[in-house]
Structure 1
């Protein structure tokens, strides 16, 4: 079984300054894919806002970035943010703009994972997952778009999923929200294109995070058993790493990618190919 290439497993090495001085907000950045995105954007010179509903985990990610390079202390901000609360969003964006005057990049990453058959999903569960995974993305875009329009540039990157594209057993609530994210991305790209604001979606496959280990546990599988089953579904016979998602986020956020908008990028080891 293959393992992730070493260069894709960590946010170190000879990084260029692809995001130099860009103000990047990452939601759900207190762990998993979100923290890898924040760390990698910082490594590329961005002014990074680590936003999470859990301020403690956001602070920990900020400390990790700064401890690796004290020169980044002025370019990292951790902030408490509840994407389901419009006032929380307004307060967070004001804090960011007061310090750095604008927002160049929004990475909508915050999500919850409700995986079940439709008859097992309560009304409250539907409300919660739609509030975080769909409404939260829309409210964040609503808050940052005026600043992007003013400067006539910006990049909104939304974390969708292979679940936006394919049916999976007992995934109804989660897949529904990720399908909505994909369509939201296309519509944002159309509406915001005249202002030179790009909007794209990333569709990860099976990425090794705490959510993945939790899913394996819910299936009563060890991680070895779960991984063995998952890699059968992929061209590349391994799980992905958060760093591999972070790398493509940097590309889409950077000035290397001016003509890509309304697109969805599958980062799934070939899962949807087979």
Structure 2
């Protein structure tokens, strides 16, 4: 995966930090995994799709000349609390602790209030909210013990604004933002920071599927969305990964409880 010269000049700002990433097999999750490895972290690439997680690990080892003992893949469904507990224990046994949690797993269920089934509501909340909370529940004891840590949650502009027929997804992302604020308050005395990142329109598989559902080519979709924001383009996974790495690092020790929008200025208009 290509990175900018700016990334390469950062001089490993995550050196020897253990970073646990959920949803790491996807476009943004993969970019975060690559960038954390580039910045010196020991990286846990977890995803419900083990093949996708394995591919990210193999790509990092091949393209970054990364030592294989500094990166691991884990099959993890964040709906399963027992699986979370086992995964956290495995990482702690291997590397002693965890310094950073990136909650990036997501379910992209959209639709009108009449169209979404009870089961669909349960699933989107289980992945997008409950799964985030359970990951934190089982990692926080390690962070408290070392009296430091950074938790980064994936919100979305969908948690800030209303969008037509996006009710379930937007509702869960709004919940993530409030979860982040409450955790920042509860964990601040332990020097544990909790922030959220809220991307706008980023070129990822869910966006491609959304364009297809609207009977638009990606070019048409991109042009229509780009005109609605200050920067007349959509974002890339690498741009989101750069922001996540900044929040994971020690460069921003006084930032907590914040929701950082990375939307090309969409919500500014």
Common fold, TM-score beyond 0.5? Answer: yes
Note the residue ranges of structure 2 that are not aligned, 5 or more in a row: none
Runs of 4+ in 1 over 2 A off after TM superposition: 10-15, 69-72
Whether the aligned pair in 1 keeps the contact of 2:37 and 2:66 (CA below 8 Å) is: no
Query: Is 1:235–2:230 an aligned residue pair?
Result: yes
Aligned residue for 2:36, secondary structure, equals helix
Instruction: State how far apart, in whole Å, the 1-side matches of 2:37 and 2:64 are.
Output: 10
> 1:128-207 counterparts in 2 under 5 A?
128-207=123-202
Counterpart in the other structure of 2:72: 77
Spell out, residue by residue over 1:195-238, the C-alpha distance to the aligned partner (whole angstroms, 9 max, x if none): 00000000100000111100101111111111111011110000
Counterpart in the other structure of 2:93: 98
Counterpart in the other structure of 1:43: 38
Instruction: State how far apart, in whole Å, the 1-side matches of 2:210 and 2:66 are.
Output: 38
Whether the aligned pair in 2 keeps the contact of 1:42 and 1:72 (CA below 8 Å) is: no
Shift of 1:104: 0.2
Spell out, residue by residue over 1:148-174, the C-alpha distance to the aligned partner (whole angstroms, 9 max, x if none): 000000000000000111001110000
Instruction: State how far apart, in whole Å, the 2-side matches of 1:80 and 1:11 are.
Output: 32
Whether the aligned pair in 2 keeps the contact of 1:200 and 1:261 (CA below 8 Å) is: yes
Whether the aligned pair in 2 keeps the contact of 1:11 and 1:40 (CA below 8 Å) is: no
Whether the aligned pair in 2 keeps the contact of 1:104 and 1:154 (CA below 8 Å) is: yes
Whether the aligned pair in 2 keeps the contact of 1:133 and 1:177 (CA below 8 Å) is: yes
Instruction: State how far apart, in whole Å, the 1-side matches of 2:180 and 2:26 are.
Output: 24
Whether the aligned pair in 1 keeps the contact of 2:3 and 2:238 (CA below 8 Å) is: no
Answer 1 or 2: higher relative contact order, Cα 8 Å, separation at least 6: 1
User: TM-score, length-normalised on structure 2?
Assistant: 0.97
RMSD between superposed Cα atoms in Å: 1.4
User: TM-score, length-normalised on structure 1?
Assistant: 0.95
Shift of 1:66: 0.5
Query: Is 1:260–2:262 an aligned residue pair?
Result: no
